[in-house]
Structure 1
Amino acid sequence: MKLIGSTTSHYVRKVRVVMAEKKLDYTFIQENVWAADTTIQQSNPLGKVPCLLMEDGGAMFDSRVIVEYLDTLTPVGKLIPANGRERAEVKCWEALADGVIDAAILVRLEKTLRAGDMQSQDWMDRQMGKVSAGLKAMSSGLGDAPFCSGNHLTLADVSVACALGWLTFRFPEIEWRGEYPNLAKLFDKLSERASFKDTLPQQS
């Protein structure tokens, strides 16, 4: 398998961490989807990463779809419960973490792609409100538990930790550590895993 992605993307990192935890072999192909010569649409018509290229030539895109597929490939490091309330809970954690990053990315794009006099502060405030509410919900949902869902690592933890890592990378001014020490504790614990150490977000 080949994974097309960027070392700065939260969504790509989530897939890379899952692949590492599942001990799956793949080739990582870095792609800048904003570059004039990007070829990403040859694999994903939406022009986004991550995109997983299969051995048979097929392509799969959207991080949520990809990680769900990857978790079925081997029983090693099972990250998503098979069914029922437990499965829905893990997927809700993933949706919450992705939603926080969705909102934060909109703010980043507003700041980087629009001239200052064209930027909407109301729009950015609205999105940052979602980020704040999402972080609060993560902290409340985690409480004093060692993991987000159940008593072992799941996709919920991977998603939350990748989201917190991206916020630290792109929005260091957000002081989530001081406000939510339980999230900081979870983040620091997961950051010691090889899957997270090897996929730190960085400018390529």
Structure 2
Amino acid sequence: MKLIGSLTSPYVRKTRIVLAEKHIGYNFELEAPWDSDSHVPDYNPLGKVPILIMDDGTSLFDSRVIVEYLDNMNPVSRLIPESNRRRIMVKRWEALADGICDAAAAMFLERKRPEPSQSTEWISRQQTKVTRGLQAAAHDLSDKKWCDGNIYTLADIALGCALGYLAFRFSEIEWRNTYPNLADLSERLEKQAPFIETAPRG
């Protein structure tokens, strides 16, 4: 299998961590979807990463689709619970974490535009989404060790990648002081080998 992605995308990082946790071998091909000569649209008509090219040449895109496929490839160390209620709650965590990333990425891209063309209203709306997302995550995590309680799951990976992206792109957002339980979770995750090996850079 081949994974196409960048070193800065939190969605690519989530996929790479799941691959590591499931002990699935793959080739990693670096592609920046914004480059004019990018081959990303050849595999994903939406022009986004990550993209997983399966052994038969079929491409999978959207990190949520890819990680579910990967988790089902190997029944050992399931990251998405099988029971319906727990499964839905873990996927809910993933949706929340990805939503934080969506809003943060939208802010980042808007700030890259020439300053006179930037929409302060748009940036503010995305900032509000990030703030509310962090508030919800901190509330739902409460005093639990992991998002799903005492078991490490995809929920923790997704939230850890979202927090890592904020730390990478938005050092001015002081979520660590505001939400110490999120800071504790992030610190535990960032000490694990899959997180260390996929730390965003670029």
| 2:56 counterpart residue number | 56
| 1:30 counterpart residue number | 30
Q: Secondary structure at the match of 2:72?
A: coil
| 1:104 counterpart residue number | 104
| 1:20 counterpart residue number | 20
What is the CA distance between 1:166 and its match in structure 2?
A: 0.5
| 1:182 counterpart residue number | 181
| 1:4 counterpart residue number | 4
In 1, the alpha carbon distance for the partners of 2:22 and 2:183 equals: 25
In 2, the alpha carbon distance for the partners of 1:44 and 1:118 equals: 29
Matched residue type, 1:46: L
In 1, the alpha carbon distance for the partners of 2:49 and 2:195 equals: 19
| 2:67 counterpart residue number | 67
What is the CA distance between 1:76 and its match in structure 2?
A: 2.2
Q: Secondary structure at the match of 2:29?
A: strand
What is the CA distance between 1:106 and its match in structure 2?
A: 0.9
Render the CA deviation track for 1:45-92: whole Å, top value 9, x for unaligned: 111100000111110000000000000011222100113110110000
Matched residue type, 2:188: K
Q: Between the two proteins, what is the percent identity of the paired residues?
A: 54
| 2:145 counterpart residue number | 146
| 1:194 counterpart residue number | 193
Runs of 4+ deviating beyond 4 Å? none
Matched residue type, 1:23: H
| 2:122 counterpart residue number | 123
Contact 1:23 1:76 in 2 (8 A): no
Query: What stretches of structure 1 of length at least 5 have no aligned partner?
Result: none
Q: Secondary structure at the match of 1:72?
A: helix
| 1:92 counterpart residue number | 92
Query: What stretches of structure 2 of length at least 5 have no aligned partner?
Result: none
What is the CA distance between 1:118 and its match in structure 2?
A: 1.4
Render the CA deviation track for 1:29-54: whole Å, top value 9, x for unaligned: 00011111111111111111000001
Contact 1:44 1:61 in 2 (8 A): yes
Q: Secondary structure at the match of 1:132?
A: helix
Q: Secondary structure at the match of 1:71?
A: helix
1:130-141, aligned counterparts within 5 Å? 130-141=129-140
What is the CA distance between 1:119 and its match in structure 2?
A: 1.1
CA RMSD of aligned residues (A): 0.8
Size of the aligned set, in residue pairs, is 202
In 2, the alpha carbon distance for the partners of 1:123 and 1:36 equals: 26
In 1, the alpha carbon distance for the partners of 2:40 and 2:176 equals: 36
In 2, the alpha carbon distance for the partners of 1:29 and 1:188 equals: 28
In 2, the alpha carbon distance for the partners of 1:77 and 1:158 equals: 14
What is the CA distance between 1:107 and its match in structure 2?
A: 0.9
| 2:83 counterpart residue number | 83
